[in-house]
Structure 1
């Protein structure tokens, strides 16, 4: 069998090496890679047999297509993996697994790429394949660099370099030197980075490796730009762009245009920078790469700022911040999905282990029963000892059943513990996901805008007068963010630790008065008239801090959804044993289809009349607080006419007594705090 495979592989590799030699020794390299890909595709079509030759062609084709069509990389790698697995062809399976890992990198799934690369590395070590071991260690180093863990990446990169130096593989040594230089770039150790990048450049120049030089020149240009050597950086970025175009690497061409735009901006060649940015955006439209688009807006803001167009620079900086949030959210979602998938896999593995233990226990019982049967047959012959032996076997069987039942009970208890732990983990994940969602979507944005404004003000690229134009808007965003943070902390505390009600008698009118100063400031920002009609004293029995949060949420919510020059009124209705508080506005109202979401756990949230943001926790939290204080909460709302929220609270015993006997007369007064 081995001789058969060796003959087939030898014939294939002879043809393949001759073909690749013809392509790679041509003096003009711009179409070499696409020609190799076309040739391999033709060879694959001419060899339909599912054998090791087809596996090797599939793996070669999959690797060449990684920088051109990543989706085809995955398709060919999967076929190579399945054929190799059926033939128990470990080398093919190893390279197919590595190509599947590269496909996951193209999709941004670094966790899956790490798992697949580790699987491929185990196969390489099992086969004692020195070259593959070096390549896969370098891959792991690159993954850690992308995950912003350069120290960990350096460990694998240097291990890979030592392996490749033992094999004296110059091409692979050049790649790994470039990877080590990249690690030092992430660590901002620029001199060390240049040392390894120049070493990589020397090897790739000796090999005339234009494809590899594109990566090395990009990194060298980036480091030189950071060190302020912009003219040298421009030269390297220009050569990098040329070689990326030769190797038909569209992703690399886009990055080189962005790098050239930044360098031309530093050199104050604004026309060239503008042209580079337009070329980058044109190419990226087909690729739809979110990171490249984010970098585009960042460099666009730098160019506008350098030109003195600060208003446009701010707009582009906001676009950069928005895209940054989107990329962060996408990566977070992928990380959560991968973590959940890994958790489910480990859970299933644990369940399978429990099932195997149970099966082994049942098999042991069956074996014991068989022994018992044969034992009985043998003892039946010896009548003298049959009674004693049967009694012993019966006792043994009882013990086995008792042990089996005991073990079954322990397994059930373990399963119950696992189910309880899963429920707790699921609850914790929901709280964590909500907190991450609010922080990434609602709290980062105003802080990012404030950072951009302060950046322009600090570098004197914006005058104090221009900054003052945005102060009111920034103040409102910060106050909204502070309110969201209060709601988030209260909600997280209620979810993680539960809520303790500390009820006591207090004057709800005085509480509302104390909150009105802050609320009036928010209302004046939108020219809203805010007043309340509560009498000087209404004593209720409830948790004062919870009711403070409810009043603040309801009134600030009314301000949020009431347009300029609107009116908000806090009114009341006194009953024998409770008081009803009403917060009324003439704002935009709540659409009928969304009214069921207001108090639900869906965490419904929309932007206000001036794009104010919220986290969707205020109203559900208010509902919980009112119900915990023996009250009820409801609302009436009509689209474009306004909304009124109502809630009740029990009166204190003194308030109930005086109200029931008619001893207290409460006059309805109107307090206007708008001035």
Structure 2
């Protein structure tokens, strides 16, 4: 039931992420060709060198000795795995006067990544976290998310799997909404790695398959060989060597086609391990030799030591004990020179088994003792590492609490600023509407006064006309009344005279 819930949650995150409306990532990188070099870093050395050389050429466009030029050169050496040279340029940039906030953020990201790959993971995370805060203050969400991705992958390297998974799950929808499919693939790959470490192979396989789908259907820098190899590893640890062999072979074909030669030793080694598990020791040995041949051009002492140990295992499977002994001793000598305790541990265990087969109890006892001492030492180191991780986790949580408190204060401050801004707008609009109302009322009164004045004038004119009419009719009536009165009087007198005569 828990597995089903995990599976459904992952599907919901993926569907929700890609169901959002397409948007473009707002701003490009301040460092020219940095994105391209970053994506090929550790995968295709020729492409990486091509873009780092372009970065150094572009750096010449900046003022000589400026922080922009120094940081760009530092990144170019970082992606060539030349950490010492990168740190020299970064340190020189740090001493530069008036370092802008944006370039300081890029500088902290570079020094943080250099520290992480030099083994000082905790210090590197702190520097990248500071860079993330600067990018957040500058409003650069893309670089802020990029820093969080670096922190998530570093947390995985420190064994803080749940913290890494939480960050990756948070970043995945953001990168998907902005069509940043390269980083979507990196998030899915990181999620798969976390699930693989937690033995949740079903969820790990789902993440890797989704990453492979994006590699083949979208235009990305990421090579699909990484996802193919990861899927093969899931099948390998699930004891499905045939399926693993198919994906490992596809990964090799992709790398050979794309020129990702630094990845080939690991691919050949994986095929050898799958063949060895299938009982094909002779064929496995051929692939181990191919891996060693590629390592002559692209040296990696750790990988070489491990592959020699695996080749010795193939010799053991073929009962070629003398050849296996030489290879184990060679791998052990290299591991001791490089102080690689896990490989010393594996070689001592293998030599003890070898001498048990050869019936040489004295040599067997010697390496068995060293094996047990190393095992106890590694166990103690694991306990100490666990304590260190708990201490780091406590410090990180304390810092996170302080940062959360500062963010809350900033949010409260921003809310107050926004509220004051809104109030200013309200006051402005209120004054504006009141002014409009007053003007409207003023013009209304003016118009009313004009109308009243016009009405009064009209009334006065009407009164004058009425008075004129009255005078006119009075005059007319007077002029008619006087003659009529005389006529009436005359008629009346004559009538009376006639009556008296009668």
Say whether the fold is shared (TM-score over 0.5).
yes
* Corresponding residue for residue 137 of structure 1: 188
Contact 2:114 2:124 in 1 (8 A): no
* Corresponding residue for residue 119 of structure 2: 70
1:193 aligns with 2:247: no
Cα distance in 1 between the residues matched to 2:346 and 2:279: 20
Cα distance in 2 between the residues matched to 1:325 and 1:111: 27
Describe the SS at the equivalent of 1:36: coil
The 1:43/1:105 distance shift into structure 2, 3 A limit, reads same
- What whole-Å deviation, never above 9, does each CA across 1:350-401 have from its counterpart, x for those lacking one? xx99xx9xxxxxxxxxxxxxxxxxxxxxxxxxxxxxxxxxxxxxxxxxxxxx
Q: CA deviation at 1:124?
A: 3.3
Describe the SS at the equivalent of 1:70: coil
- What whole-Å deviation, never above 9, does each CA across 1:610-669 have from its counterpart, x for those lacking one? xxxxxxxxxxxxxxxxxxxxxxxxxxxxxxxxxxxxxxxxxxxxxxxxxxxxxxxxxxxx
Q: 1:136-535, aligned counterparts within 5 Å?
A: 136-169=187-220, 171-244=222-295, 246-285=297-336, 287-310=338-361, 312-313=363-364, 316-317=367-368, 319-321=370-372, 323-324=374-375, 326-328=377-379, 330-331=381-382
* Corresponding residue for residue 37 of structure 1: 81
Cα distance in 2 between the residues matched to 1:44 and 1:310: 55
* Corresponding residue for residue 496 of structure 1: none
Contact 2:25 2:142 in 1 (8 A): no
Equivalences, count: 344
Cα distance in 2 between the residues matched to 1:202 and 1:256: 20
- What whole-Å deviation, never above 9, does each CA across 1:10-32 have from its counterpart, x for those lacking one? 58779999998582599xxxxx9
Structure with higher helix content: 2
1:23 to 28, 37, 49: 49
Bigger radius of gyration, 1 or 2?
2
* Corresponding residue for residue 127 of structure 2: 79
Describe the SS at the equivalent of 2:239: coil
Describe the SS at the equivalent of 1:37: coil
Alpha carbon RMSD of aligned pairs, Å?
4.6
Describe the SS at the equivalent of 2:279: coil
Contact 1:245 1:253 in 2 (8 A): no
Point out where structure 2 has 5 or more consecutive residues left out of the alignment.
1-23, 53-75, 409-502
Describe the SS at the equivalent of 2:80: helix
Cα distance in 2 between the residues matched to 1:17 and 1:136: 13
Contact 1:138 1:160 in 2 (8 A): yes
> Which piece of structure 1 moves more, 187-196 or 239-248?
239-248
The 1:285/1:119 distance shift into structure 2, 3 A limit, reads farther
- What whole-Å deviation, never above 9, does each CA across 1:2-60 have from its counterpart, x for those lacking one? 9996584458779999998582599xxxxx99882347556645654455456557657
TM-score w.r.t. the length of structure 2 is 0.56
Q: CA deviation at 1:85?
A: 1.6
Cα distance in 1 between the residues matched to 2:241 and 2:37: 45
Cα distance in 2 between the residues matched to 1:3 and 1:46: 31
Cα distance in 1 between the residues matched to 2:88 and 2:392: 38
The 1:337/1:238 distance shift into structure 2, 3 A limit, reads same
Structure with higher strand content: 1
Q: CA deviation at 1:178?
A: 0.4
The 1:214/1:96 distance shift into structure 2, 3 A limit, reads farther
Between 1 and 2, higher relative CO (CA 8 Å, sep ≥ 6) is seen in 2
Q: CA deviation at 1:210?
A: 1.6
Q: CA deviation at 1:191?
A: 0.6
* Corresponding residue for residue 617 of structure 1: none
Point out where structure 1 has 5 or more consecutive residues left out of the alignment.
27-31, 357-675
